[in-house]
Amino acid sequence: MLTARIAALLAATLCTGPAWTVPAHASDRPGCIYRVVRVKTHLNVRAWPNGRILDKLYPGDRTWGPCRKTGSWRHIHGTDVGRKGYAYGHYLKKLGRR
């Protein structure tokens, strides 16, 4: 009896689909992939160009973000906390598009 109820519940779920939607994974969003270069200690991720520091990237770290610039700054995602912000473009090497 219990097995029949579980089977009916699973069949109903498979036919109707879940009631919630899964957000798009970060790798599904378009953008560019960058690697941190020409840095000895760390690269600050800032709230806006020359703004307050939100996060850090270390030499060789990879990050991603939209392929747009704000002057010499790039909009990216940090790694320590994963916050979005800006990093100076001179220290980021574009590896390709995602």
Residue-wise pLDDT for 14-73, tens only, equals 555 444 333 444 445 689 999 999 999 999 999 999 999 999 999 999 999 999 899 999
| Within a domain: 20 | no
Separation between Cα atoms, residue 14 and residue 27, nearest integer Å: 26
Structure-model confidence comparison of residues 26 and 10, the more confident one = 10
Q: Is residue 21 part of a domain?
A: no
pLDDT the model gives residue 82: 74
The secondary structure element, H or E, covering residue 18 is: none
**Is 73 part of any domain?**
yes
Please measure the distance between the N-terminal and C-terminal CA atoms of the chain and give it in whole angstroms: 49
22 domain residue, yes or no = no
For residue 8, is it within any domain?
A: no
Integer Cα distance of 85 and 96 in angstroms: 19
In a domain, 77, yes or no: yes
Residue 2 lies in a domain: no
Give how many domains the chain has, as a whole number.
1
Phi and psi dihedrals of 87, rounded to 5? -135, 150
- pTM, two decimal places: 0.67
Measured distance CA(12)–CA(76) in Å, rounded: 42
CATH number of the domain encompassing residue 42? 2.30.30.40
What does the pLDDT read at residue 14? Answer: 52
Question: Is the residue at 37 inside a domain?
Answer: yes
What residue numbers bound the domain in which 66 lies?
Answer: 30-97
The whole-number average pLDDT for the span 78-94 is 90
For residue 16, the model assigns a pLDDT of 53
Q: What does the block give as tokens for 53? A: 């520091």
The predicted pLDDT at position 20 comes to: 39
- Write down the pLDDT at residue 51: 96
